[in-house]
Amino acid sequence: MNLFNDDPVGAFYSVSGDGDVRLLRGGIGVANGLEWSLDGRRIFFTDTSVGTIYTGAYSANGDITDVNVFTRGAPHDGLTIDTDGNFWGALYGGGKVVHYNSNGAEVFAIDIPALNLTSVAFGGADLSMLYVASARENLTQAQLEAYPLSGSVFAIQTDTQGRQPTPFFSRG
């Protein structure tokens, strides 16, 4: 990513178990929030620089095609999916976690006492706890005083669950 250039140079890459690296998609300003549909046939990714979550078809060999806007209008950083097929996005500079249905419509938003949210992930014994990471970077002294918990990790009990993590195995 390059925050100081109008040319979007960010990209997503895949790394195989053998260590091979392959470009999946370029032309992204700030590549963040990577997630897949429950059936693995669609990929979702955020471009924080243009406030958009995109979705595209995802093939078994990792090709991304038919990319469209899933939702736009907010600087999403982190993104995760729950077992109902709905998405949760962390807003960088927005101090909110937004819950979207599978069609990209906002269900509700949760205010977090930190401005720069960077990641969301499900965890806990039954994967129903949503963890929200935040950053202190790029905040003024006045913002830090107004949001002293910036840089913290927050835990929100949800009425849904995240899916089990997919392990990455390296051959070696």
Count other Cβ atoms within 10 Å, centred on residue 30: 19
Asked if 50 and 33 count as a contact pair (C-beta separation under 8 A), the reply is: no
**Catalytic site residue 6?**
no
Q: Give 145's contacts (C-beta < 8 A, 6+ positions apart).
A: none
Judging by beta carbons within 10 Å of its beta carbon (0-12, 13-18, 19+), is residue 68 exposed, middle or buried?
exposed
Instruction: Report the distance separating Cα 30 and Cα 3, nearest Å.
Output: 8
User: Tokens 């095609």 identify what position?
Assistant: 65
Q: Which of 7, 20, 39, 77 is catalytic?
A: 77
First to last CA, the chain: 30
Give the Cβ contact number of residue 112 at 10 Å.
Answer: 22
Which of 93, 85, 146, 98 has the alpha carbon at shortest distance from 118?
93
Residues annotated catalytic, as ranges: 77
